[in-house]
């Protein structure tokens, strides 16, 4: 059974930091590009950060570049998102996902999804 389970979310003050983890089971993440998305209440799901199969390349939404860092451990089957200098507008449910094919900035091209973890940033 394929599963992605996120953890590490919580309540943090503005300018604080959090580290999100995504544990994969039932499949091997080394065969997939992986990414983090987020969805705030009343808004569409949006791309946050992505990483290639070996981790040699990463890419970010403009709103988080220079503050967030995505990484992966293919041996442990884990994906991470380090978030620094958090802002209230970063408040959302964060989900990790495994990419299928197509435009990797689009949620519709991802085939496996976790349930998400809530991140709330207070001002």
pLDDT in tens, the chain (123 residues): 999 999 999 999 999 999 999 999 999 999 999 999 999 999 999 999 999 999 999 999 999 999 999 999 999 999 999 999 999 999 999 999 999 999 999 999 999 999 999 999 999
Asked if residue 63 lies in contact with residue 86, where contact means CB atoms within 8 angstroms, the answer is no
Give 87's contacts (C-beta < 8 A, 6+ positions apart): 14, 121
Contact 107, 97 (CB under 8 A): yes
Burial (Cβ within 10 Å: 0-12, 13-18, ≥19) of residue 1: exposed
- pLDDT at position 72 is 98
Residue 96 DSSP SS3: strand
Distance CA 112, CA 110 (A): 6
């Amino acid at each position: 059974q394929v599963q992605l389970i996120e953890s590490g979310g919580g309540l943090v003050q503005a300018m604080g930091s959090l580290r999100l983890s995504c544990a994969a089971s039932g499949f091997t993440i080394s065969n997939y590009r992986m990414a983090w998305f987020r969805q705030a209440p009343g808004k569409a799901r949006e791309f946050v950060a992505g990483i290639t199969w070996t981790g040699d390349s990463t890419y970010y939404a403009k709103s988080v570049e220079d503050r967030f860092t995505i990484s992966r451990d293919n041996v442990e089957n884990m994906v991470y998102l380090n978030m620094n200098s958090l802002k209230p507008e970063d408040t959302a449910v964060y989900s990790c996902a495994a990419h299928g094919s197509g435009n990797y900035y689009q949620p519709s091209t991802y085939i496996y999804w976790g349930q998400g973890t809530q991140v709330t940033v207070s001002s």
